[in-house]
Every structure is written in C-alpha cells, then in structure tokens.
Amino acid sequence: MFPKADVVTHEVAIILRTLHRERAFSLLSVVLLALGIGLVSAVFTLIWQVIYAQLPVAQPSQIYTFASNVTHAGREDSDANAQTFSLPTYRYLAAHFTAAAGVIARAGELANLDTPDGPRHLKVDFVSANFFPVLGIKPAIGTVLTHDRLAGMLSYEFWQESFGAQPNVWNSTIHVNGVPFRIIGVTPPGFGGLIAGQVPKLYLPIAAYADVNPGWYEANNWSVRWLNAFVRLPGIISRQRAQAQLQSVYRAAVRQELASGGAASPAYLRELSHEFLSLVPASQGVHSNVESWTAPLKMLQWMTLAILFLASLNVAGLAVVRALKQKSEILIRYAVGASRPAVMRLHFLQTIILSFAGGLLGLLVAHWTVRLLVHLAHLDYNGFLYRSSGWTIAGHWTVVLVTGLLVGLLPAWQATRVDLAGGLNEGALTHSATRSQVLTRRSLAGAQIALSLVLSIAAALFAKSLYRTLSVPVGFNSTHLNVFAIDPKISGNTLPGAKLLFTNLADRLQTTPEVTSVTYGSGGPFPQEMDVALIDSTAAFSQHQSATRNSIGPRYFSTLGIPLRAGREFD
C-alpha cells in the first residue's frame, strides 16, 4: 500500500526543515551530487546529439545524401565533408531523378552581414529554391525562400540574438557583402542547417551566390564542384530501386558534361568509367563528428559515471554518519509505532530531495560543460546541438532519480537494523557503534579511497596526454606572430584587384616600426583542405588523395620561421 498524499507531504515538510537546520550537510551533498549528475548529463547530451539525434525536419529517415567511389580531378570547394556537385550537374539530377521526392542543394561560406550590432563576419548558406519545402520546414514567421534571387531567411537563433526577436524584421533589408536582401522569413527554432556544427545565420538563394561574390562567374561550369546535394526518398520507393535509377541518371549527366565542350583528360575519363554514385543515409545531416567524437565520448562517459559513483558514495557516507547521530530519534519513532517501511521512506525521500536539488544545479553544470567541450572542438554550439532536448532532459532526470534511490539505499538499510529491544536504555544510546556499523563505514571509506585513486591516475594520464598534445611542434615559429584575415571580395575586388590589395597591404605593413617581416597566404599557417591528383600519368583513378593547399606570398617561409632544406623562397 502506498502512503497517503498528506502523509508524504507532512514527511517532506519535516525533511525540508531538518535539512534547513543542517545546512552544511545539505549544501555539501547538493554540490557533490550536482557535480556528478551534471557531468554525466553533459556527456549523455553530447553522445545523444553525436550518435542518435536526427535532423529536426519532417521524416528525417527519408533524407539521403550522395557519395562517390572516386575523387575527381578539377576544382572542388566545400565547407562540408560531403560529396560535391557542380550547379549544372545538380540541376540535371533534380530534373531527371524522378524516384526522389525532391533533390536539394546547399553551399556555405562566411560573409559580411550588416546587423543591428554592426558588421559581422558570419556563416551564410546558399540553398536551392526547393530546399525548405523538400525538408518539410515551415517558417516561424514570414515565408520560405523560393525563386526570389534577392530574398533571405534569418535563422531563429540569429533573429533572437541580433534582432531581439522583433516581428517587424519581416520585409526589412539586410546587407550581405554590401548587397541588399529582403528578409522574407525566419526559420523555426532548433533548425541548424544540414551540416552539424555549422549553423548558418542567414539563408540565401543559390542564384545570389554571384551577387555576394563579385568576380565569380563559374556557376555554369561543369568542372567546378561546390554544392552538397541531398535527396528525399518517398516511403514507397526503396533505396535499392532509387539507387538503380540514380546510376542511369548520373551517367546521362556525365554525358551532358562531356558534350558541353569542356576539355576532358584521359585520367578524368578513366575516373568516370569506374565511378559509382551511391545514396547515403543523412537523417543526421552531414555529421563529420561521429567518428572523431564517439571514442572520446565513450571514455568520458565511463569517467563521469565513476565521478558520479564517487560523489554518491560520499553523500551516502555522510548520510550514514548522520543517521548514526540520529539513532535516538529513530528509536523514538519505532517506539511510538512507526513501521520500518515508514522510516526507510523518510531516508529515501531525504536523499531524493537532495538529488533533485543537485539535479537542478547539475543542469547548469551540464550546460557549461557541453559549451566548454564544444568550444574546445571549435564547433558552433547552436549548430552542434539540434535542440531535440526531450530525450536528454528525460535522461537527466532519470539519472537524478536513480542517484537519489541508490544514495538512500545504505542509510535506509542501516535504519532498519536498529536493536529496538535494548535500544532505549541509556547504555544503548551512549555505547559505541556496533561491529556491523563500523564495518559499513570502513567499507564506504575503502571504496571511496580506491575509486578516488583510480580517478586520480586516470586524470593524471589524461593531463599528461593533453600536455603532450599541446606541446607538439606546429612546424613554424609562433613567437610574436600575429595573424589576421581579410576578405577582398566584400569590397567588390576582382582577382587583379585582390592581388593588388594584398601586395599594397604587405608593403605598408613592412614599413611599420617593429614589424620585421610580412607575408600572406590563403590559409595562413593552417592550409585549407582540397583534393589533388598524383602527377604520375600511369596512376590509376584510385590514386587521387586528399591533401592541403596554401596560396602564399613572398617571404612566407622566413616570416613563419620555416627553414628551407634546399632552393629559395617565392619572390
């Protein structure tokens, strides 16, 4: 039989008054539990988002992306670790891949946005006209993008952050690289784009790419791949059937490319003969963090569980000691007719109340721990978390409840082992602890010491590994090295104008007092990734490898302190 609600309410009131009197015990218990629960909740949140969370779109299991078994020669530019297509190839797939309910495309880059807070360099996604309808996304306010070339949509978070969530932002103007765009809507809350870790602040049509990037005239070039494509398959079409049609459609697109007049090398033709385009599930979008984060998160999961277990042992030990000091009170309760289940219930209610208080404080610990880990990984916090927080919140409070029950188990068990027959005489109230009580306390202390030792060793090894990682030579002299970035296309510079800008800027900086050397590069000391082909003409198509590139200026190696083995620098 469960106790009546008024009985439980009365017991809770008694426990709260008792905990208020014993503030030191209460505060220490809440802080310990908050630390353990918060760390476990933070790691669980990251594991959920990295491994299990899906895109906040309609029927995300129907979303697929494309993958190829070869890496093409030619120009490829993308901000995502996903297959890229030229705009003509995407248009052909969208028009002829009839097994799909829709084929969409996107490309992202940083652009200069005039916001109410001033100019900011922020992420912009260029999307196809059917992007939002195919994903089944409805705007929070306004309408979605269609075929209006100079229209844009704000992300919900950006709308709140920079525009104060004002509804009058609809139909206003925002300048992107100096080009005015009319804001026609705001995305729904929680949608962070299709690339995990990179939340766009603004969505613009693909047709506006050349407007935002003056001097870029390669939209219709079949060999310039810069779009990530996604497809929605209707439930009545199997993946195998859709992939069979995809092969014939893509072959036809390749024939169109070859017929467009572009010069195709023998190596490129060889690649096409071996190419196989496949459909890859993308219910999580393009998520490059799955492989790199899974193993570290699982290790952190076990470490945080050990910390929570240690915190629970400490709180349980404090509760046992407190229960021993309250032995006379327990005996009196038994003497006036309290049942053992009632006394156990008091202990469980007490630890559950402490655990829930720790859970509330643990929400802050979890929030800031997640932000710290995401920051250390150089990810956008809003983009990394899709805000599908129902399961993570449920998991948090489940941990809170289980922790409260486990912590209360030992003191409740001790309370039922009181010698009621001889307990009320004066000697029983003053004698030392029994052998079983001493054994219990020693067992708790031994477990705490053993677990603390294991965690200390693990923390020391982790700190040593972190130190070694931070001490790895970067290959250049970073002492007194200052790096900054500029984007010449924002001010409308063409390629000759950009070259002149960098040359003049380097010359002016070189004459500045205390500046010993100046250079420039497309990626600074950290080159950009791209795909390159081996020069060996006899190499097979599979010899294309991923590499890095950096377009650099004069005195680059001497400025960065990189010694040359032979030869000379670029002039």
Report the number of secondary-structure helices (H) and strands (E) in the chain. 17, 15
Give the angle subtended at the CA of 110 by the CAs of 109 and 116, to the nearest 5°.
135
CB burial string 347-357: b at 16+ within 10 A, e below: bbbbbbbbbbb
DSSP 489: G
Q: Which of 25-39, 337-351, 463-477 has the highest mean pLDDT?
A: 25-39
**Mean pLDDT confidence for 138-142:** 92
Higher-confidence position of 500 and 262: 500
| pLDDT value of residue 532 | 47
What per-residue confidence (pLDDT) applies to 15? Answer: 75
Amino acid at the residue 301: Q
Query: Are 382 and 326 a contacting pair, CB within 8 Å?
Result: no
**pLDDT computed for residue 111 by the predictor:** 87
Res 324: pLDDT: 63
The answer to whether the beta carbons of residues 279 and 243 sit under 8 Å apart is yes
Long-range contacts of 1-4 (CB under 8 A, 24+ apart): 3/342, 3/345
Residue whose C-alpha is closest to residue 25's, from 412, 318, 330: 318
Is a pLDDT exceeding 80 seen at residue 75? no
**In one letter, which amino acid is 381?**
Y
CB 80 within 8 A of CB 87: no
Average pLDDT over every residue of 102-111: 91
Closest CA to 413 of 436, 389, 382: 436
Q: Which two tokens stand for residue 20?
A: 């208020």
3-class DSSP assignment, residue 315: helix
Host H or E run for residue 549: strand 545-549
d(C-alpha 105, C-alpha 471), whole Å: 41
Q: Global pTM?
A: 0.70
What pLDDT is attached to residue 415? Answer: 62
User: If you average pLDDT over residues 377-403, what whole number do you get?
Assistant: 68
Residue 125 has pLDDT above 90, yes or no: yes
Alpha carbon distance 339, 337 (integer Å): 6
pLDDT at position 7, please?
A: 63
Segment 260-283, tens digit of pLDDT = 766 566 666 666 667 778 899 988
* CA torsion, ordered 70, 94, 198, 69, to nearest 10 deg: -10
Cβ atoms of 16 and 353 closer than 8 Å: yes
Q: How many other β-carbons are positioned within 10 Å of the β-carbon of residue 524? A: 17
Min mean pLDDT across 163-172, 266-275, 529-538, 562-571 is at: 529-538
Q: What is the CA radius of gyration of the chain?
A: 32
Which single residue is written with the structure tokens 């912590």?
407
Residue 520 has pLDDT above 50, yes or no: yes
Bigger pLDDT: 56 vs 290: 56
Give the pair of three-digit tokens for residue 551: 């377009």
What are 430's strand-pairing partners?
A: none
Choose the most confident range, by mean pLDDT, from 32-41, 122-131, 250-259: 122-131
Q: Indicate whether 496 pLDDT > 80.
A: no
Centre a 10 Å sphere on the Cβ of residue 290 and count the other Cβ atoms it contains.
Answer: 11
Distance CA 463, CA 455 (A): 12
Q: In one letter, which amino acid is 141?
A: I
The predicted model gives 106-128 an average pLDDT of 89
Average per-residue pLDDT for the chain: 78
Residue-wise pLDDT tens digits, 526-541: 655 444 444 444 544 4
Buried b / exposed e across 380-389, counting CB within 10 Å, b at 16+? bebbbbbbeb
429 touches 423 (CB < 8 A): yes
Distance between CA 205 and CA 144 in Å, rounded? 11
Q: Give the model's confidence band at 106: pLDDT under 50 very low, under 70 low, under 90 confident, else very high.
A: very high
**Of 65-74, 78-87, 411-420, 457-466, which has the strongest mean pLDDT?**
78-87
